[in-house]
Amino acid sequence: MARNYWGYRIDTDNIDFFRSELEQGRLRQGWGWDEKQCLTNLTMDSGAKRNLPIFNKVKKGDILLIPRLPTWSEVAVVEATGDFDKSYRYEIDPVHGDYGHIFPAKLIKQFTRKNAAVSGDIRSTLKNVSRFWNVGHCADAIEGIIHKEDEELRSELSFINRFHNILNDSLNRSFDNKKFSNELYDCLNKNLSNIEWEYALIEGLKKIYPSPIVVERTGGPLEKQHGTDILIKFPGLSDYQYAIAIQVKDYSGYMSGDAVEQISKADNYWKSEGLVLIDKYVIVTKCEKEQNTEITSLDESVKIIFANELKDLLMKMGMSETGFALDIA
């Protein structure tokens, strides 16, 4: 039976962890911080449901391309060593308190995407921001990479790239990400009101999405029509054609579904303005996802960033401000 080919993303805040796990035949995935999120008996979503395509589709012998593994500038070529739905295990990592989803896999090759041996199709598909996607159109090119010698695939790894690999790996080992993000989050919550949060997030998002991407505030009288506080616009072949719509709420405790209902209006409104929405988000500044799991199922096209995820986003903004976020793709 012919094998299939997939793209697969990891949490790049913990590259060392994912690399060490893969060395032991375990391919980890996030949104696995509660026993109820086990995919064989899923009773609480909070993002875990998005791993079901991985669980159901990947079979023994399939190939996965994983950007940012085993180092920041490289791409891992990984082979599934069992059917993911049959060989799946769930075991929350005690250190990180997450990444409970474990799939059987082994590293068979690694390459830098800038290598001359890497086709344009592969470099293009690696820009996909999805967590999991089909790369079957690159099958021949991927097989070509698998059969090349290691030195052929890594010969273009320049000194600059090596420096950045070492810098990022050392940073991940030495920098206390959790302490930084907790302190930043706590300070912002003490000093910002709801509307001030919007402006703060806009400035932070500009660090992650520099020009020519546009990050702008869209609140005001028209917000009733589009439910969008912040709009991120991406250029297409002509002018700006794609966008991410964000609703910001300074909620705490339990939240209603109002914010989800508001941002759900964004598709039709921005379509009339010539934009195609590629994502819709609700950011809630104080709500914990454990208290609001039912909200995540109101509209599957809307992603909700609760307090815990907001801390991670703020950390990325802070790292970008200091110059450590070298590349977000």
**CATH code of the domain in which 233 resides:** 3.40.1350
pLDDT confidence tier of residue 312, bands split at 50, 70 and 90: confident
| Same domain assignment for residues 23 and 130 | yes
Tokens of 25: 């035949």
Domain boundary among 142, 170, 198: 170
Considering the domain boundaries, does residue 329 fall inside one?
no
The domain containing residue 272 runs over which residues?
A: 177-322
Average pLDDT, the chain: 89
Of 30, 101, 103, 98, nearest to 64 by C-alpha is: 103
Buried b vs exposed e over 137-163: b needs ≥16 C-beta within 10 Å?
ebeebbeebeeeeeeebbeebeeebee
Considering the domain boundaries, does residue 327 fall inside one?
no
| Same domain assignment for residues 31 and 146 | yes
Predicted pLDDT at 10: 95
Mean pLDDT of 21-48: 93
> Residue 213 gets which letter from DSSP?
S
Give the range among 97-101, 149-153, 212-216 with minimum mean pLDDT: 149-153
pLDDT confidence tier of residue 125, bands split at 50, 70 and 90: very high
| Same domain assignment for residues 159 and 186 | no
* Residue ranges in 209-306 assigned as alpha helix (H): 223-226, 258-263, 266-272
**Which residue reads 């039976």 in tokens?**
1
| Same domain assignment for residues 192 and 162 | no
CA dist 45 and 36 (Å) reads 8
| Same domain assignment for residues 274 and 126 | no
The CATH number covering residue 79 comes to: 3.10.590
| Same domain assignment for residues 24 and 157 | yes
Considering the domain boundaries, does residue 269 fall inside one?
yes
> Residue 15 gets which letter from DSSP?
H
Considering the domain boundaries, does residue 43 fall inside one?
yes
Predicted pLDDT at 325: 46
| Same domain assignment for residues 50 and 65 | yes
Q: What is the pLDDT of residues 153-191, one digit of tens each?
A: 875 455 566 666 677 677 666 777 778 888 889 998 888
| Same domain assignment for residues 154 and 197 | no
| Same domain assignment for residues 185 and 316 | yes
Predicted pLDDT at 287: 92
Considering the domain boundaries, does residue 36 fall inside one?
yes
Tokens of 35: 């026993």
pTM: 0.56
| Same domain assignment for residues 21 and 165 | yes
Domain boundary among 147, 170, 193: 170
Query: Looking at the predicted structure, is the pLDDT value of residue 249 above 60?
Result: yes
Considering the domain boundaries, does residue 328 fall inside one?
no
| Domain count of the fold of the chain | 2
Considering the domain boundaries, does residue 242 fall inside one?
yes
| Same domain assignment for residues 297 and 187 | yes
Q: 72 and 112 in contact (C-beta within 8 Å)?
A: no
Considering the domain boundaries, does residue 11 fall inside one?
yes
| Same domain assignment for residues 151 and 249 | no
Domain boundary among 170, 187, 219: 170
Query: Looking at the predicted structure, is the pLDDT value of residue 328 above 80?
Result: no
pLDDT confidence tier of residue 317, bands split at 50, 70 and 90: confident
CA dist 89 and 28 (Å) reads 10
